[in-house]
Amino acid sequence: MGMSPMQVEISFEYVLEFCVSEELCETLNIELPDNFLLKSIELNAEKSSLSHLCSCNIKIDGESVYSGPIGKEGFVMEIDTVMPINELNITTDCGSLSEWLNQIEPCLVIVKGQYLMDESNTLTKAFIDKWA
């Protein structure tokens, strides 16, 4: 009898810079590895004093799932789909602050989910290449 695949909880952090320009802002693009099921996206803005004056747009595989304020401390978005997701895109907009500031502290994006390991219960090379 072979070993059954094991699910491992994975959490990865990215720095999300706030765009304080009236120009088009850069997008944080996160490519998710195969066999990874996205469970939540957290924008942790506790260390960013002006995040409540900013908004963001979150897209999953090109489809907008959130467009609105970030808030003073950020927020957590729970994901209830069991479908694999390939790409996550987050764009910030603090353009209304451009008259007064040219930069504010970034926030932290925390991506959490489960990774389904193969029969050997090890991370695949494709996963390691993307996230290790």
| Pairwise CA distance, residues 59 & 84, whole Å | 14
In degrees rounded to 5, what are phi and psi of residue 48?
-105, 110
Tokens 């506790």 map to which residue? 46
Tokens of 99: 């008259």
pLDDT digits (tens, 9 = 90+) for 68-85: 999 999 999 998 877 788
pLDDT at 132 over 60: no
Tokens of 89: 């895109």
In terms of Cα–Cα distance, which of 79, 84, 81 is closest to 111? 79
Task: Report the SS3 class of residue 69.
Answer: strand
- The predicted pLDDT at position 110 comes to 81
| Pairwise CA distance, residues 16 & 44, whole Å | 10
More confident residue, 65 or 84: 65
- In sequence order, the 6+-apart residues with CB closer than 8 A to the CB of 81 are 38
- The predicted pLDDT at position 87 comes to 92
Amino acid at 10: I
| Pairwise CA distance, residues 47 & 45, whole Å | 5
Mean confidence (pLDDT) of the chain? 81
